[in-house]
Structure formats: structure tokens, C-alpha cells
């Protein structure tokens, strides 16, 4: 286990290094942020001053060197636009995104898996077919369209839920969260549903396939022959077996949920980090873009690691140290 | 029994009414952009400048048509060619109760060029000032190197901060609210990044008292979401209503719209300097001498554009055909200039005279995420030019890529926008049409490198002529030269639309700002 962890971490550092280089070169070649940030009537002298102030007059390699040196001290640079540390800006926005992603994930797990299992057991009935049709919709409708439909239906027509924003937050262990106030929950429901739709469909399909496959297996027949109740067979034995692929896939998807919640965040003006990075890309705020991508990569690495560990707990045959 | 019931009911109703009257009144605004900072001198960009007006005051205000009005300065006048004197308002207090004096003005003027890491500073508005003399607590004299007729206009571009609270403060201190203490109508309560900014009324405000105890500003960048927030009643007023939504919002009974022309000009810049222009070729793709150097070709392009059609069909009526850089009625605008009439025949004739009877090939470049319908406008112009024989291809790109390349002079024909901060025409002339001159600070956005010595000398003379009439006269003449020479091709001024719930009204501003003191409540 320890050897596995050490190997994994050293690989991750390499990935981060390569990533930072790619991103840095990429944004460098897109253009000069000053052209977008500066007032158009600024004189050439003011332009030159702004370029110098932000350190953009140095050659790319020097800029990258400075970035690497500061990064080793935990400083990913100051945002050009906000003049505050990029890391701080992202961390400020992270709780909002995490809250949205976790709620969406919980919805996907607690709605998607039971529905999927139901569809698997009753695959020939109306119910089973309806669940599958719903999942096809969830897969194929574009997120932004569904989001706008949610707003039109639930906020504009029915007036039940707010159309956007985050609502009242309270501090929980120093982190502002909105799921502890009624106002906050109301603001959370629509964006979380919007974000959860695709993952719920995914969970339905995975668990349905898993249940159907497992019901054909010898161990189920054996359990039936032994006289175990259906509830026990499905609720315990089948459930345990289908969880492995479901957790692997959803674990991977969770990273994507955090990193790419941006469409939902934009539609519901949810103050998360996805919205921050889109705004930053719009004005080429290099430090924020680089910091965001590095944080995202780190997050994917950690999630993959956790998935592997959970995997080994669920299925003792998987031994982490043996992966080569 | 019945009487008693009625009486009880009456009492209950009274209480209920009393309760609503006593309740704090909140105004919620859904605005398109979010400020990048609450430090009013950090980044010269309209979202920041507008938000600064909630907390701070300017020395000289701009009204909704950008005419100058007294602000923290009650009056101002030149006392010699190079000295301006400003009389400051008495009895004004900052949000923390400390008095506003000439010291605060001096502090502000000295801070502006020294804000660290500013991506777009305000120093251009103060760099003509050589010395600042405080005569007494309410009088200040500014001496400039050269005569400076535009100084009052320049001082109307930024807000005044408190020396006591902002001395040594960083941009982050403003963002946290520690240093964001002004004399303005509202005091900052809290800025929750990306979600909302909360203000409470400054009851000691020297100006008009506003009806709302609290104002919440919510940044909603997505157009559809902003409209939905208004329709669902989550916000009371929104700015920049997208043209496509005007029709159906107009039919809503609880909502009403108000529109105002803006100073945002959409125009074409043409490479009129180089022999060899990057995206111009002959009809068979061969290299040719840059035809845009010929004023007749530039004029032909201007004549080929049907501005009315663009305003009506592409902009859904939310555009006004443009004749110069700043709309009619502003200081320094010519009454003799009219929008170029659509004249494809005349355009073809001019091309023939210039020696291009068969036309040539060109690419029109433009941004696709910067101005209202920008890529559609470029498409339309391309079709119109193709009609007179200039085979035009369209290439649009995100603004983050576009402006850098445009400044590197990689384009021959480009669609750009311009909005004047100062509310008059000289800054457009200086940036767009004056010969590019890095040392003297002219022509910063002259991406076509248009050059005309006559225009240059008139503008330079105007910039040191304090006499208002003479100054305007020179500006008008210089503008007429630049436009009749087709230094740029003006297309239209954008019209901005605000949407609000019934009971509110807003006249709109040409700078596009949404300012609480101009929102009318009641009805």
C-alpha cells in the first residue's frame, strides 16, 4: 500500500509539471491580456507600464521559471484582473462548486442507483421501460437547455424556486454553505437537479446493466435455491457486486462534475469556480487559468486514488501493490 | 358581534399595513458585469467605474447624457491659462463620519498613478497636473504643464476616496470593505464574490435621499438568466436586455422597458498605411498594392454599407446609424456630418475611378463575443461589400485572441467598437485618427494607422486651447477632415435597454451605467 502511494504521488508530480508547462505555453500563445484589460484610449506609454507591472515584458521561459519558483513556495501568482492571489480566489469559490457537485452526486446515487436496480429487476414492465426512457432523455438533452427550461418552469411560470444566485449562507467550520438554511436550499435545488440529470441517467444505466447481468449468475441461483428472500439477494449480494463498476465510473465522473459544472454555474449565476475560470479565460487572466487547471488535475489525481482504495475495500481480490 | 369583528379586522389590517411601511425597502439589481475590484482606481473598466458611484462621489458628475454637473466640487473655473480652481462642497462627510476636505482630493490625485499592478490605470486623466495647491479646506488649485481645456472632463472620470481610511491601503483592502469608505449615497455592507454586493443607505448623504434602505447588486452574466430573474421577480431591474428578448418582454404586463442610445460606436478600421496589407489580394489571389490607401476605395466601402438595414434587421432596431465618433448633441460633434447614405452604384463608380473595376479580395476580421451581434454585423457588411465587387470573407474570433492580433496589425479591415469615457470627441480623435505616435501618446487604438497631418495639428492645437468655443471648433473641424477622408467607417451607435418591474422607471444613460440615484420609484 505504501509503495503504491509513493509511486502514485511521484507520478502525479510529473503530471502536474507537464500540465503546468502545456498550459503556460498555451495561454502565452493565445495573446496578450493587456490588449483586453487596458482602456482603449490608454497611451502607448501607459500600455508599456501595464505590461511591465504585470511582468509580461519578460521572455516566456523567464516567466515560466518565476512561476515555478513561486509555485514551489505555494504561490501560484496574482490574478491580473483582481490583483489577489489566484489560489485564494479559487479557494473562495470552491465551497460553492463543491456543494453543488456533492448535492448533484448524492442525487445521482440515491435516485439513480435504486431506479436503475428497479429497472433491472422489472425490465419487462411499464415501469422499467419508463425509467429507461427517462435516462435516455437525461443523456441526450443538452445541460444548458434543460437548465433554462427548469428556470422557465419552476421560477418564471410557477414561481416556486429562485432563478439563480446562491441565497443565504451560514458558516460551517469556517466554510460558507447554503444547505443549512431554507433560503439556501431553495437556491440549491434547481442547479443541483440540472447538474445531476446526466449523472443520474448514467447511474440508472450502470446499475440496470449490473443487476441484469448478476441475476443470471450462478451465485444468485444458488442463493435462491438456498431459499434466501429476494430482498436479501438483491439488497445485499447483487448490490455489493454491482457497486464496483458503478463506484469506479461515478468516482471518475465526480471529478468531471466539479471541473465542468461551469455550464450550470453560468446559467444559474452560481458563484462557483467554473464561472470564475470562464470569466478568466475571457480576459486571459493567466495566473487564474493556470492555477485552476493545476487544482483540477490535482483533484482528479486524488479522486482516482480514492476510487482505487475503495475498490480494494469492496473487492478484496484487488491488491493495490500489484498494479504495475 | 359583527361590529366587533369588523373592528378587529380593521385593526389587523392597520397593523399589517404599518408593518409593511416599517419594513426595510430593498432594491435588487441584476447587472451584466461584475466589478473586478471595489478599488475605484485599480482598473478603468465600466463595471468598476459604475459600481464605484454607489460608494463614492466624483468631483464633477456626468449626467445621463454625460454633460458635466457639480459633484463634490460645487464650481470650477480656469484662473489662468494653466491653473484651474475648484470650490469644494462644504459639510460633506464620509461613511465613517470624518469630514471631506481638499486633503482627500489631493490624496486621490496622488494615489491614481501609483496603484500597484493596475492592468488599466486612470493615470491618463491626471498626468497633465503638475502641482496641487490646497488654498483652504474647500478650495484646491491644479496647475498643468500646458493649458488643459479637458481637465474638468478628466476629473469627471474617477471618484474621490478618503485619505484617513485609504492611506497605505491595498486593492484587497478595498475589496474587503476596510478601505471602501466614501461619501456616496450607499455604504458597502458586504461583497460576496460572484454572487452579490450588499449596500446600505448612507443617511447622512449630502445629495438627494433615496427610497431604498438596502440595495443588492447581483452580477448575472448570462443574458437568458438575467431576463428570467426579472420575469420571476427575483430582481427588480436588469441592464443590457438582449435585443432578441425585447419583443416578448414588452408584452409582459408586470414589466416595462426603457431604452437609451449609448456612446458605444461600432466602426470599421481600414489599413490605410502600408503598401502591402495582410488580408488583401487580387481576384485570383495574387498580391496587389493595398487599395485601402486610396481614399476613394475607403469611401466606396462606406457607401456600400446599408446602415439602416443593419440597425433594423440585425440589431432589431437597437442601433442608430452613425455619422462620426460620438452621437449628435455631444460637445465637439459636427452638425454637418450625416450618416453615409447607402449608395451601391456610387460605390461601384468610385471603385472604377480608383482603378478597381473588378474589385479585389479582402477578409473582414471581427470579435464574436465583444459587442452586441458583432459577428452578424461583420457577416452583413461582407455581403454588402461583395455586392459592389469587393469579394469579402469573414473571420471572427473570441476577443481574447482578436484584440491582441488587431493591435499587432495583422488585419486589413476590422470591426471594432469604441465608447468615450469623457463624453466628448477629442479622445476618439486622439486615439483613433491621430497619427500613431508612441512618444506623444497619440493613436493608441489607430489600428488602421490612418494619418493626416492637418488633422493632427488641429487636434493638438485644440488640446491646449482653454477657450471652450475655440476648442470645440477645432475638434469639429478635425472630425470633419477625418470622416470625409474615411479614416474610419462609422456604422452605428448601440442602444441599451433596461428592463424593470412596474413601479420603477429609469431613463437610461449613454454610458450604459445603472445608478441608483437615477432610478425613479413610485407610480
> Which one of A27, A33, A39 would you mutate to disrupt binding with B, by most B Cβ within 10 Å of its Cβ?
A39
Contacting residues of B for A32, CB less than 8 Å apart: 404, 407
Is A165–B234 a contact, with Cβ atoms under 8 angstroms apart? yes
Is B124–A46 a contact, with Cβ atoms under 8 angstroms apart? yes
Average pLDDT over every residue of A51-76: 84
- pLDDT, tens digit, 9 for 90 and up, residues B480-518: 999 999 999 999 999 999 999 998 999 889 889 999 989
Q: How far apart are CA B348 and CA B387, in angstroms?
A: 9
- Tell me the whole-structure pTM to 2 decimals: 0.84
Q: How far apart are CA B247 and CA B52, in angstroms?
A: 33
- pLDDT, tens digit, 9 for 90 and up, residues A175-231: 778 787 888 888 888 999 998 888 899 889 888 888 888 888 888 888 888 877 877
Q: pLDDT value at position B6?
A: 53
Q: pLDDT value at position B19?
A: 45
> What is the crossing angle of helices A273-282 and B399-407, to 10°?
20
Contacting residues of A for B431, CB less than 8 Å apart: 40-41
- pLDDT, tens digit, 9 for 90 and up, residues B443-466: 888 999 999 999 999 999 999 998
Of A134-138, B155-159, B268-272, the poorest mean pLDDT is in: A134-138
A36 vs B403, B441, B444: nearest CB: B403
pLDDT over 70, % of chain B: 95
A43 vs B39, B124, B220: nearest CB: B124
Of A24-28, B146-150, B190-194, B292-296, the poorest mean pLDDT is in: A24-28
Name the band, by pLDDT with cuts 50, 70 and 90, for residue B23. Answer: low
Q: pLDDT value at position B14?
A: 47
Residues 6+ apart with CB under 8 A from B327: B261, B263, B320, B333, B493, B510
* Whether pLDDT at B82 is above 50: yes
* Whether pLDDT at A21 is above 70: yes
* Whether pLDDT at B2 is above 70: no
Name the band, by pLDDT with cuts 50, 70 and 90, for residue B203. Answer: very high
Is A165–B404 a contact, with Cβ atoms under 8 angstroms apart? no
Name the band, by pLDDT with cuts 50, 70 and 90, for residue B5. Answer: low
Contacting residues of B for A43, CB less than 8 Å apart: 124, 438, 441-442, 444
Name the band, by pLDDT with cuts 50, 70 and 90, for residue B277. Answer: very high
Q: pLDDT value at position B180?
A: 93
- pLDDT, tens digit, 9 for 90 and up, residues B305-320: 999 999 999 998 899 9
Q: How far apart are CA B99 and CA B320, in angstroms?
A: 45
Of A280-289, B104-113, B449-458, B461-470, the poorest mean pLDDT is in: A280-289
A151 vs B42, B225, B444: nearest CB: B225
Q: How far apart are CA B426 and CA B432, in angstroms?
A: 10
- pLDDT, tens digit, 9 for 90 and up, residues B37-48: 999 999 998 899
Contacting residues of B for A280, CB less than 8 Å apart: none
- pLDDT, tens digit, 9 for 90 and up, residues B113-148: 999 888 888 988 998 999 999 999 899 999 999 999
Contacting residues of B for A45, CB less than 8 Å apart: 438, 441
Candidate ranges A221-235, B222-236, B375-389; pick with highest mean pLDDT: B375-389
Contacting residues of B for A264, CB less than 8 Å apart: none
Is A37–B399 a contact, with Cβ atoms under 8 angstroms apart? no
* Whether pLDDT at B257 is above 80: yes
- pLDDT, tens digit, 9 for 90 and up, residues B416-446: 999 887 778 888 899 999 999 988 889 888 9
Residues A318 and A307: beta-carbon distance below 8 Å: no
- pLDDT, tens digit, 9 for 90 and up, residues A144-173: 888 888 888 888 888 888 888 887 777 777
Question: CA A244: distance to chain centroid?
Answer: 20
Average pLDDT over every residue of A273-283: 85
Q: Who has greater pLDDT, A284 or B90?
A: B90
> Which one of B195, B244, B445 would you mutate to disrupt binding with A, by most A Cβ within 10 Å of its Cβ?
B195
Residues 6+ apart with CB under 8 A from B225: A151, A163, A164, A266, A267, A268, A269
Q: Who has greater pLDDT, A217 or B206?
A: B206
Q: Who has greater pLDDT, B231 or A4?
A: B231
* Whether pLDDT at B329 is above 90: no
Is A31–B403 a contact, with Cβ atoms under 8 angstroms apart? yes
B444 vs A42, A148, A283: nearest CB: A42
Residues B102 and B137: beta-carbon distance below 8 Å: yes
Name the band, by pLDDT with cuts 50, 70 and 90, for residue A25. Answer: confident
A269 vs B37, B225, B399: nearest CB: B225
> Which one of A84, A161, A165 would you mutate to disrupt binding with B, by most B Cβ within 10 Å of its Cβ?
A165
Is B444–A40 a contact, with Cβ atoms under 8 angstroms apart? yes
- How far is B119 from chain A, CA to nearest CA, in Å? 5
Grid cell 486610396 in the structure block, residue: B294
Q: How far apart are CA B19 and CA B75, in angstroms?
A: 44
B118 vs A40, A50, A281: nearest CB: A50
* Whether pLDDT at A2 is above 90: no
Q: Distances in Å between the alpha carbon of A218 and those of A213, A238, B390, B416? A: 11, 12, 76, 71
Name the band, by pLDDT with cuts 50, 70 and 90, for residue B340. Answer: very high
| Whole-number average pLDDT of chain B | 90
> Which one of A33, A145, A164 would you mutate to disrupt binding with B, by most B Cβ within 10 Å of its Cβ?
A164
A30 vs B221, B369, B400: nearest CB: B400
What backbone torsions phi and psi does residue B467 show, to the nearest 5 degrees? -60, 115
Contacting residues of A for B197, CB less than 8 Å apart: none
* Whether pLDDT at B190 is above 70: yes
Size of chain B, expressed as the number of residues it contains:
523
pLDDT over 70, % of chain A: 98
* Whether pLDDT at B209 is above 60: yes
Name the band, by pLDDT with cuts 50, 70 and 90, for residue B21. Answer: very low
> Which chain A residue is nearest to residue B406, measuring alpha carbons?
A35
Q: pLDDT value at position A293?
A: 86
Name the band, by pLDDT with cuts 50, 70 and 90, for residue B20. Answer: very low
Contacting residues of B for A40, CB less than 8 Å apart: 418, 431, 444-445
Contacting residues of B for A275, CB less than 8 Å apart: 194, 221
> Which one of B26, B120, B124 would you mutate to disrupt binding with A, by most A Cβ within 10 Å of its Cβ?
B120
Residues B357 and B351: beta-carbon distance below 8 Å: yes
Contacting residues of B for A96, CB less than 8 Å apart: 194-195
| Whole-number average pLDDT of chain A | 83
A31 vs B228, B369, B404: nearest CB: B404
Amino acid at each position: 500500500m505504501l509503495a503504491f502511494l509513493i509511486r502514485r504521488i511521484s507520478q502525479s508530480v510529473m503530471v502536474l509539471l507537464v500540465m503546468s508547462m502545456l498550459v503556460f505555453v498555451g495561454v502565452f500563445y493565445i495573446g496578450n491580456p493587456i490588449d483586453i484589460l487596458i482602456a482603449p484610449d490608454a497611451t502607448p506609454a501607459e500600455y508599456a507600464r501595464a505590461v511591465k507591472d504585470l511582468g509580461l515584458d519578460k521572455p516566456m521561459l523567464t516567466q515560466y521559471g518565476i512561476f515555478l519558483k513561486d509555485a514551489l513556495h505555494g504561490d501560484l501568482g496574482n490574478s491580473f484582473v483582481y490583483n489577489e492571489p489566484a489560489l485564494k480566489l479559487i479557494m473562495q469559490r470552491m465551497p460553492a462548486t463543491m456543494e453543488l457537485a456533492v448535492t448533484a452526486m448524492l442525487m445521482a446515487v440515491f435516485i439513480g442507483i435504486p431506479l436503475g436496480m428497479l429497472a433491472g429487476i422489472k425490465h419487462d414492465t411499464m415501469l422499467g421501460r419508463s425509467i429507461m426512457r427517462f435516462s435516455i432523455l437525461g443523456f441526450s438533452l443538452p445541460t444548458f437547455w434543460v437548465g433554462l427550461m427548469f428556470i422557465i418552469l419552476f421560477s418564471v411560470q410557477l414561481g416556486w424556486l429562485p432563478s439563480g444566485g446562491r441565497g443565504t449562507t451560514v458558516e460551517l467550520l469556517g466554510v460558507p454553505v447554503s444547505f443549512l438554511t431554507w433560503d439556501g436550499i431553495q437556491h440549491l435545488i434547481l442547479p443541483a437537479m440540472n447538474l445531476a440529470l446526466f449523472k443520474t441517467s448514467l447511474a440508472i444505466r450502470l446499475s440496470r446493466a449490473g443487476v441484469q447481468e448478476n441475476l443470471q449468475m450462478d451465485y444468485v441461483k444458488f442463493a435462491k435455491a438456498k431459499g434466501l428472500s429476494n430482498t436479501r439477494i438483491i439488497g445485499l449480494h447483487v448490490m455489493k457486486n454491482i457497486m464496483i463498476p458503478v463506484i469506479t465510473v461515478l468516482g471518475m465522473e465526480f471529478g468531471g462534475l466539479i471541473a465542468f459544472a461551469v455550464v450550470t454555474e453560468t446559467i444559474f449565476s452560481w458563484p462557483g469556480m467554473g464561472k470564475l475560470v470562464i470569466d478568466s479565460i475571457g480576459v486571459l487572466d493567466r495566473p487564474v487559468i493556470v492555477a485552476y487547471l493545476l487544482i483540477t488535475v490535482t483533484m482528479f489525481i486524488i479522486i482516482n486514488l480514492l476510487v482505487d482504495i475503495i475498490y480494494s475495500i469492496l473487492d478484496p481480490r484487488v491488491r493495490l501493490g500489484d498494479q504495475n | 358581534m359583527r361590529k366587533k369583528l369588523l373592528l378587529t379586522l380593521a385593526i389587523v389590517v392597520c397593523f399589517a399595513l404599518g408593518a409593511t411601511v416599517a419594513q426595510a425597502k430593498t432594491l435588487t439589481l441584476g447587472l451584466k458585469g461584475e466589478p473586478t475590484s471595489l478599488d475605484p482606481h485599480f482598473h478603468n473598466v465600466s463595471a468598476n467605474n459604475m459600481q464605484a458611484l454607489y460608494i463614492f462621489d466624483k468631483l464633477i458628475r456626468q449626467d445621463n447624457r454625460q454633460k458635466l454637473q457639480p459633484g463634490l466640487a460645487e464650481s470650477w473655473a480656469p484662473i489662468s491659462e494653466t491653473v484651474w480652481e475648484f470650490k469644494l462642497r462644504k459639510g460633506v462627510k464620509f461613511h465613517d463620519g470624518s469630514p471631506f476636505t481638499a486633503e482627500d482630493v489631493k490624496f486621490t490625485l496622488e494615489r491614481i498613478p501609483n496603484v500597484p499592478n493596475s492592468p488599466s490605470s486612470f493615470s491618463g486623466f491626471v498626468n497633465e497636473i503638475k502641482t496641487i495647491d490646497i488654498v483652504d479646506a474647500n478650495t484646491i488649485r491644479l496647475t498643468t504643464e500646458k493649458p488643459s481645456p479637458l481637465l474638468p472632463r478628466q476629473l469627471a472620470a474617477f471618484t474621490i476616496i478618503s485619505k484617513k481610511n485609504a492611506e497605505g491601503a491595498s486593492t484587497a483592502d478595498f475589496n474587503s470593505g476596510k478601505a471602501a469608505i466614501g461619501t456616496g449615497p450607499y455604504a458597502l455592507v458586504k461583497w460576496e464574490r460572484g454572487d452579490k454586493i450588499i449596500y446600505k443607505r448612507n443617511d447622512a448623504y449630502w445629495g438627494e435621499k433615496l427610497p431604498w434602505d438596502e440595495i443588492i447588486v447581483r452580477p448575472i452574466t448570462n443574458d437568458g438568466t438575467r431576463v428570467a430573474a426579472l420575469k420571476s421577480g427575483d430582481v427588480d431591474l436588469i441592464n443590457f436586455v438582449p435585443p432578441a428578448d425585447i419583443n416578448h418582454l414588452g408584452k409582459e404586463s408586470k414589466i416595462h422597458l426603457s431604452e437609451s442610445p449609448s456612446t458605444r460606436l461600432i466602426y470599421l478600421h481600414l489599413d490605410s498605411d502600408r503598401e502591402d496589407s495582410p488580408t488583401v489580394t487580387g481576384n485570383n489571389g495574387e498580391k496587389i498594392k493595398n487599395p485601402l490607401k486610396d481614399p476613394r476605395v475607403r469611401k466606396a466601402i462606406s457607401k456600400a454599407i446599408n446602415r439602416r438595414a443593419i440597425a433594423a434587421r440585425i440589431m432589431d432596431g437597437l442601433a442608430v446609424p452613425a455619422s462620426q465618433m460620438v452621437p449628435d448633441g455631444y460637445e465637439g460633434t459636427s452638425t454637418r456630418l450625416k450618416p453615409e447614405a447607402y449608395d451601391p452604384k456610387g460605390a461601384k463608380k468610385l471603385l472604377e475611378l480608383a482603378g478597381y473595376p473588378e474589385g479585389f479580395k479582402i477578409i473582414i476580421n471581427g470579435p464574436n463575443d465583444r459587442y452586441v451581434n458583432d459577428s452578424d454585423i461583420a457577416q452583413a457588411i461582407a455581403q454588402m461589400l461583395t455586392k459592389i465587387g469587393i469579394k469579402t470573407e469573414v473571420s471572427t474570433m473570441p476577443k481574447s485572441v482578436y484584440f491582441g492580433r488587431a493591435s499587432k496589425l495583422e488585419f486589413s479591415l476590422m470591426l471594432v467598437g469604441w465608447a468615450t469615457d469623457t463624453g466628448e470627441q477629442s479622445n476618439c480623435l486622439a486615439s483613433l485618427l491621430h497619427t500613431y505616435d508612441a512618444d506623444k501618446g497619440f493613436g493608441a487604438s489607430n489600428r488602421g494607422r490612418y494619418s493626416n497631418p492637418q488633422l493632427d495639428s488641429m487636434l493638438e492645437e485644440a488640446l491646449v486651447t482653454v477657450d471652450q468655443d475655440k476648442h470645440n471648433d477645432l475638434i469639429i473641424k478635425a472630425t470633419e477632415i477625418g470622416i470625409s477622408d474615411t479614416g474610419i467607417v462609422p456604422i452605428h451607435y448601440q442602444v441599451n435597454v433596461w428592463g424593470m418591474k412596474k413601479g420603477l422607471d429609469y431613463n437610461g444613460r449613454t454610458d450604459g451605467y445603472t445608478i441608483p440615484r437615477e432610478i425613479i420609484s413610485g407610480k
